[in-house]
Amino acid sequence: MPRFWSLSLVLSLVLTGTAVHAQSELGLCSLRVDVAMAKDGKPVPGVRVQVLQGLNSLPFGVAVTDSSGSAQFENLSPGDYRVEVSGAGIEPVLGQIFNIIAGQVFISQQIAARPATNNKGSAPGNSVNVHDLNAPPDAAQASARGDDEMQHKHWKQAADDYNKAIAIYPQYCSAYYNLSVVYYQLNQPDKQRDALQKTLSIDDHFVPALISLAHLEFADHKLPETRSLLESAITADPTNIEALALLVRVDYMQGKYEATIADAKRVHSLPHDGYATVHYTAAAAYQQLNRIPEMISELKLYLKEDPTSSNASYVRQTIIELGGKPD
């Protein structure tokens, strides 16, 4: 029997969230994010910048742009990252995935912002909620201190500041969400979950919180709960690649192979740098359905989008054993 039938053994690593690029301990990198308006290039001060790390977009740090529209992040290890920018007066922006390589000491990202057009609740993918606009000054100051402490990785002090902000203004949606990020960094999943649930009790369309809670449920193998959260996130933001890609994994693990394939096609129809694994998962679904030509096509797409993957040589050999030719 051809060894491609052991594909599911390799796939199990993907489904449990293994990083696409192994992290190296060699060297740390600084990141500067510059935010400017797309129309005229004017810098945008005072907006929130969050750096997300890895295939699962785990929170790395949060900062606010200075008067030059810039935010600085330090001590990034090699790996995949992306930047999310949000704030009053602009539409939320989720940047493309970029890679930091071992030995790289500086990298910059330019984000083009556009004026906000939706002031009702939180916009798709937004990390700023309309409730936050009503936060009193002392609560906003406490939350800003938390942002600063989180930027410097002073996690416990950041938690204290966010809790102070919430005590002053219990409807502070972004403070609860940022608190969940801090509890993730402190390895306190129960408190992280509680903060996310409180975020969603204020705004059940808050996409970052829906996705973060979905990741927690997925890690606990609660697939129906994960699916429900992802479906809510996708309803609020139909082009959210992170939610769609995680749904592909949930589809497969629930034995929904046709849905796996359909959702992988949805991901492929959108810009999806860093999410080549959806094609790997779709190939496994085709395998389960004994649709080998389509399986080969998905494996070829996987190689095309991630030719340096640690699984690349295995996938090439699998294509050959199936009677195909790697492109």
Residues 282-313 have pLDDT tens digits of 999 999 999 999 999 999 999 999 888 778 88
Place of tokens 């742009």: 65
| Mean of pLDDT values over 28-55 | 87
Rg (CA), the chain: 21
pTM reported for the whole predicted model: 0.72
Q: CB-based contacts of 210: which residues, under 8 Å, 6+ apart?
A: 200, 229, 230, 232, 233, 236, 243
The rounded distance, in Å, linking the Cα atoms of 147 and 64 is: 8
Q: How confident is the model at residue 128 (pLDDT cuts 50, 70, 90)?
A: low
Report the interhelical angle of 173-185 vs 137-151 (nearest 10°): 20
The candidate with the shortest Cα–Cα distance to 100, out of 32, 28, 153, is 28
Average pLDDT for 149-157: 86
pLDDT the model gives residue 129? 63
Question: What is the band of 117 on the pLDDT scale with cuts at 50, 70, 90?
Answer: low
Tell me, what's the pLDDT at 27? 57
Average pLDDT over residues 130-143: 87
230 is written with which tokens?
């992802």
Specify whether the CB–CB gap between 165 and 157 falls below 8 A. no
For the segment 230-244, what is each residue's pLDDT rounded down to a tens digit? 999 999 889 888 899
Q: What is the dihedral of CA 156, 159, 161, 165, to 10 degrees?
A: -170
Does 50 have pLDDT greater than 90? no
CATH number of the domain at 3-19+28-129+203-321, please? 1.25.40.10
Predicted confidence (pLDDT) at residue 20 exceeds the cutoff of 70: no
The overall average pLDDT reported for the chain is 84
Check pLDDT > 90 for residue 26.
no
Q: Is 16 helix (H, G, I), strand (E, B) or coil?
A: coil
State the Cα–Cα distance between residues 267 and 140, nearest whole angstrom.
37
Taking 80 as the threshold, does the pLDDT of residue 181 lie above it? yes
| pLDDT at res. 176 | 94
pLDDT for the residue 14:
46
